[in-house]
Amino acid sequence: IFNSIVSKGEPGSLDPTVMKFVHLKSKNPKLKIMLSVGSWIDFQSAQYTENVMGSNRANFAHSVAQFLARYGFDGLDFSWPWDFASPANDPKQFIRVLTALKDAFKSSGYLLSVAVTANQSISELSYDFPKIEALVDFVNLKSYNMTDNSKSMADHHAPLYTRKWETSGVGSNNVDSVVSYWINKGVSISKLNVGIPFFGKSWTLSSDAYNPPAKASGPGPAGPLTNTQGELAFYEICRHVRVDKDFKAVRSGSRLNGPIAYSLRTPGRIWVGYDDVDMVIHKGKYILSKNLGG
């Protein structure tokens, strides 16, 4: 964005892959396509934090507006990683960046959204809720990754409701609790979008038990395509369950969380929790029942 180099070609050239994506609007004129900016890798870069969070934020916002115009995007989704070891994790800085972006988008009417953590303890320290409500068009809840592979228990990372072994109420790691938290903070219901994962979190089981929470010795091995330890893409899970048939899928009858699947070989048994089509539909009905944004 800063140097107007958006591909490995000549400066200012348009990436054909991105253009193919944007051209989907020709098939559906009502489709809104957003550019997403921000990741853990970016956030840990001194150059990124200076250009985005520092004194250059107005230039950053202006360059984003130019980038959106060149490609035909409809707006920006700004992700705010939460690394407390970084001086960039300052709620006031976050609001300053959003304000700069909002100002830069005024003349063109671009949409502005934020992607926020599902962790309520971190949210309490990271967000100025009234100002976020005033500045953004909608809030994308990262309602997944609500458990991690560092724990010795394999569990679903995006449950919809509290399960029987969990403590209910504020602070619970489930979609409904996160949605309620943001509503109680004064953010408009119509601005809240629920994130649904198209990947699963995996563990290596340390016993024959597979019902969550199941004892585990650590993260599952990396998938052949995503190559990330402790995660499997939905298509990698489907291959295991439907094609290779070396995993068995078990669906929750209560639909408090999505299905789990585990490898059928006994040594080093792999376990993964994920959302399938049925669970996506169930979460979609939940979204409609709550009159959420999406």
CATH number at residue 235: 3.10.50.10
CB 221 within 8 A of CB 229: yes
83 lies in the same domain as 170: yes
82 lies in the same domain as 209: no
pLDDT at residue number 218? 92
Cβ atoms within 10 A of the Cβ of 78, count? Answer: 23
- The Cα 64–Cα 78 span in angstroms is 11
- The Cα 36–Cα 79 span in angstroms is 7
Higher pLDDT, 166 or 262: 262
pLDDT in tens, 265-278: 766 799 999 999 99
pTM above 0.95, yes or no: no
- The Cα 120–Cα 94 span in angstroms is 17
97 lies in the same domain as 179: yes
Q: Which residues span the domain enclosing 193?
A: 16-197+278-289
207 lies in the same domain as 80: no
Question: Residue 143 domain-assigned?
Answer: yes
Question: CATH number for the domain including 50?
Answer: 3.20.20.80
Q: For 40-44, 135-139, 197-201, which range has the lowest pLDDT when averaged over its residues?
A: 40-44
Helix pair angle (175-184, 277-289), 10° resolution: 20
In angstroms and rounded to an integer, the radius of gyration of the C-alpha atoms of the chain is 21
- The Cα 281–Cα 141 span in angstroms is 18
Higher pLDDT, 167 or 238: 238
In terms of phi and psi (left: phi > 0; alpha: psi -120 to 50; beta: otherwise), the region of 153 is beta
185 lies in the same domain as 58: yes
Higher pLDDT, 52 or 23: 23
Number of structural domains the chain divides into? 2
Question: Residue 10 domain-assigned?
Answer: no
The mean pLDDT value for 226-250 works out to 96
285 lies in the same domain as 217: no
- The Cα 162–Cα 81 span in angstroms is 25
- The Cα 97–Cα 95 span in angstroms is 5
Question: Residue 4 domain-assigned?
Answer: no
- The Cα 234–Cα 275 span in angstroms is 8
155 lies in the same domain as 182: yes
- The Cα 199–Cα 197 span in angstroms is 5
pLDDT at residue number 257? 95
pLDDT at residue number 171? 59
161 lies in the same domain as 206: no
pLDDT at residue number 49? 60
- The Cα 280–Cα 288 span in angstroms is 12
Question: Residue 6 domain-assigned?
Answer: no
Question: Residue 82 domain-assigned?
Answer: yes
Question: Residue 9 domain-assigned?
Answer: no
pLDDT in tens, 186-218: 999 999 999 999 999 999 999 989 999 999 999
The mean pLDDT value for 31-39 works out to 87
pLDDT at residue number 93? 85
Question: Residue 3 domain-assigned?
Answer: no
164 lies in the same domain as 262: no
pLDDT at residue number 196? 97
126 lies in the same domain as 54: yes
134 lies in the same domain as 21: yes
CB 156 within 8 A of CB 257: yes
235 lies in the same domain as 193: no
Question: Residue 217 domain-assigned?
Answer: yes
pLDDT at residue number 8? 39
3-state SS, one letter per residue, for the chain: CCCCCCCCCCCCCCCHHHHHHHHHHHCCCCCCCEEEECCHHHHCCHHHHHHHHCCCHHHHHHHHHHHHHHHCCCEEEEECCCCCCCCCCCHHHHHHHHHHHHHHHCCCCCEEEEEEECCHHHHHHHCCHHHHHHHCCEEEEECCCCCCCCCCEECCCCCCCCCCCCCCCCCCCCHHHHHHHHHHCCCCHHHEEECCCCEEEEEEECCCCCCCCEEEEEECCCCCCCCCCCEEEHHHHHHHHHHCCCEEEECCCCCCCCCEEEECCCCCCEEEECCCHHHHHHHHHHHHHCCCCC
